[in-house]
Chains A and B, each alone.
Chain A
Amino acid sequence: MSGARQLLLAGGIALAVWGMGYGLWYAVFAEHQALEQIGASLATGFGGAAERNSALSEGAFQQYRQAKYVYDRQVDVHGHWIGLAVVLIVLGIGLDRLAFSERIKMILSVSALLGSFLFPLGVLLQTLDRGNGPRALTVLGSALVIGAFGTFALGIARKSACAPQ
């Protein structure tokens, strides 16, 4: 088995296990509380409006906004880590169908694996820090994934074009 294939398979499986572990932690310790908070703040917001208490209503919607911001990112991180891991494993299986040298395959595999880890990590860090650092990490991660995947696509298209019909 080539080094690049081994990296994609082992890295993809490790990333999937990592994503599932994170999902398990999230489901047990965070999701229920987050959903409760979202539901309760919405109800309080409309309840406040019914009581003509705009301060209560505004505060509740502000809480809803914070909770929803965090909830959406935490759920997305879980889905994206596992989804990208699956893509890595499938690419690893089909690596022989790429018309590139082993060295380029290795560079692409490292780039895809690194990007697949960093992109959701950047999204997760946005829940702790709203600054530019986590956003830059997210952009870097997604650029690595898209760049690597685009080159994979080119390699597969080249090989397909050369294949006898």
Chain B
Amino acid sequence: MSSSQNASASHAGFEQSETFAPLSAGRLLLLGGIALILIGMIFGDIFAVFVLHQNAARVGASLSNAAYAALAGDSAAVLMNFQDVRAFLENRGTKVDTHVHMIAFGYLALMLSLLGPWIALSANTKKRLAWVFLCGAGLLPICVFLIHYVGLAHSPLKAIGWASIFADLGGLLVMVAVLWYLAGLGKYFFAAERSAPRSDLPADASPSGNLLLAGGVFLVLLGFLHGGYYAAVDLYRHEALDYSILLQISSGATTQSAAAVQSGLAEYGQLQGDKAVKIAAHSHIIEFGLLSMLLAFFQPYVNLHERWKRRWALVLLLGSVLLPICVLLELKYGLLAGGLADVGGLLVIVALLAMWIGVLRYTGQLDAGGAT
């Protein structure tokens, strides 16, 4: 496509975008949604590099100490080490939750933006709900992250700290906004006379959009097949091993066989690693596929040259394949595969950032042109 054709296509896009006015719900949810996904992914990468492995090592060390305490017949030390495991797991759990919730809210924002034309609410109500949603979607992950650090300090409650209270408030804001949007969608579905939605965005099929959609569907399908394979081949074997290895460690401790405890602990570490990488690969490939499908629908709003849009789509798909495959190979190739997985994550982040900038350029051009 030549640049003049590209410009006229973009101009046609501006004329269509009645749902994309300055500070409209569609624009807020699209920009906010991509920003949430970006921040969630960057946080996930930082967490993977600086926290995840160190934390897993600490959990493993505490479990190992508990097993050796059992070997030495020291019940008090066993309990103490399990308390340490609990603290390490809480630290890890809150960080995983921050990463997961931020990205999930980003996906939800993109979907709400796409469903906008079918939501029978006034533009003002949609805009206010978009702000409520984004405030909640930001508040919840930040406060979940703080739970481990704030603890119960100055809390009026015995078991729940201030960070948890504000995280719940964030969740409530998101729920209120989503339920309100759903009511609007229901109103549209059950209306006696339905007007056709004014945006024809999902029907727009640019080459980059087609590439992202077909690639995304392929990734999700690959994830489904991998999940089916995991359930059929690994799931029950892993569950049986989990029990038998723990029993082996405990029998070794009871019979005071240090060698049995040691080999059991090594096998247990291997098993947990094998489980973690397979589940991570399954969930990441599906999530990236879904992200790619969602972004396919927004390509008309990415104000970049079609050639660059295609390049960024390819970069996103390449990263989306590289990360799960390298995660799967981590047990065999260690840090090399881990490093390549991080590069895959970085490619997705860079491509997403480029598309976000493209959308920002679009909104800038839209506002300068005075359309809608």
A residues engaging B (CB < 8 A)? 1, 6, 9-10, 13, 17, 39, 42-43, 45-54, 57-58, 61-62, 64-65, 68-69, 72, 83, 86-87, 89-90, 93-94, 96-97, 138, 142, 145-146, 149-150, 152-153, 156-157, 159-160, 163, 165
With contact pairs A46-B70, A50-B253 given, residues A39 and B82 touching in the complex (Cβ less than 8 Å): yes
| A87-B111 contact in complex given A47-B79, A93-B297, C-beta closer than 8 Å | no
Is there a chain A Cβ closer than 8 Å to B173's Cβ?
no
Select which of A51, A86, A163 is within 8 A of B290 by beta carbon: A86
With contacts A6-B189, A47-B75 known, is A146 near B225, CB below 8 A? yes
User: Any chain A CB within 8 A of the CB of B109?
Assistant: no
User: Closest residue to A43 on the B side, CB-wise?
Assistant: B82
Q: Are A49 and B118 in contact (CB under 8 A)?
A: no
Query: Could you tell me the dominant secondary structure of chain B's interface residues?
Result: helix
Provide the residues of chain B in CB contact with A165, threshold 8 Å: 207
Q: Chain B residues near A142 (CB, 8 Å)? A: 224, 227-228, 231
Which of A61, A72, A163 touches B247 (beta carbons < 8 Å)?
A61
Q: How long is the Cα–Cα vector from A88 to B221 in the complex, in angstroms?
A: 13
Q: Are B242 and A68 in touch, CB under 8 angstroms?
A: yes
A150–B189 alpha-carbon span in the complex (Å): 28
Task: From the candidates A17, A52, A68, A97, name the one contacting B202 in the complex (CB within 8 A).
Answer: A97
The residue from A61, A87, A152 contacting B250, defined by CB atoms under 8 A apart: A61
Q: Which of B78, B221, B225 contacts A47 (CB 8 A)?
A: B78
* Separation of A149 and B221 alpha carbons in the complex (Å): 7
Which residues of chain B come closer than 8 Å to A42, judged between CB atoms?
A: 82, 246
Tell me the complex Cα distance, A22–B210, Å.
35
Chain B residues contacting A90 (CB-CB under 8 Å) are: 111, 290, 293-294
> Contact flags (1/0) for B205-234 with A, using CB distance below 8 Å?
101001101100110110011011001000
Q: Which chain B residues in 225-261 approach chain A with CB under 8 Å?
A: 225, 227-228, 231, 239, 242-243, 246-247, 249-251, 253-254
Is A46 within 8 A of B213, CB to CB? no
Cross-chain pairs A/B with CB under 8 angstroms, 26 sampled: A6-B189, A46-B67, A46-B69, A46-B82, A47-B75, A48-B250, A48-B254, A49-B251, A49-B254, A54-B250, A54-B254, A57-B247, A61-B250, A86-B290, A87-B290, A89-B115, A90-B294, A96-B203, A97-B205, A97-B210, A142-B227, A153-B221, A156-B214, A160-B213, A163-B205, A163-B207
Q: Interface majority SS on A: helix, strand, loop or mixed?
A: helix
Closest B residue to A158 using CB positions? B214
**Residues A10 and B205 in contact, CB atoms below 8 Å apart:** no
When the two chains form their complex, are residues A54 and B205 in contact, meaning their CB atoms are under 8 A apart? no
Report yes or no: B78 in contact with A68, Cβ–Cβ below 8 A: no
Among residues of A, the one whose C-beta sits closest to the C-beta of B81 is A46
Given contact pairs A51-B75, A87-B290, A157-B214, A93 touches B114 in the complex (Cβ within 8 A) = yes
Known: A1-B118, A160-B210. A54 touches B251 (CB 8 A): yes
Query: Which residues from chain B contact A68 at a C-beta distance below 8 Å?
Result: 239, 242
Interface residues of chain B, those whose CB is within 8 Å of chain A, are: 66-67, 69-75, 78-79, 82, 86, 107, 111, 114-115, 118, 182, 185, 189, 194, 202-203, 205, 207, 210-211, 213-214, 217-218, 220-221, 224-225, 227-228, 231, 239, 242-243, 246-247, 249-251, 253-254, 286, 290, 293-294, 296-297
B203 pairs with A97, CB closer than 8 A: yes
Find chain A residues with CB under 8 A from B205 CB: 97, 159-160, 163
Contact A94 B202, CB 8 Å, known A46-B78, A64-B246, A86-B107: yes
Q: Known interface pairs A86-B111, A90-B290, A156-B213. Does A65 touch B242 (Cβ–Cβ under 8 Å)? A: yes
Q: Are A52 and B224 in contact (CB under 8 A)?
A: no
Among A39, A61, A64, A94: residue with most chain B CB under 10 A: A94
A148 to B86, CA, bound (A): 42
- Residues in B whose Cβ lies below 8 Å from that of A159: 205, 210
Residues of B within 8 A of A163 (CB): 205, 207, 210
**Which residues from B are CB-within-8-Å of A46?**
66-67, 69-70, 78, 82, 250, 253
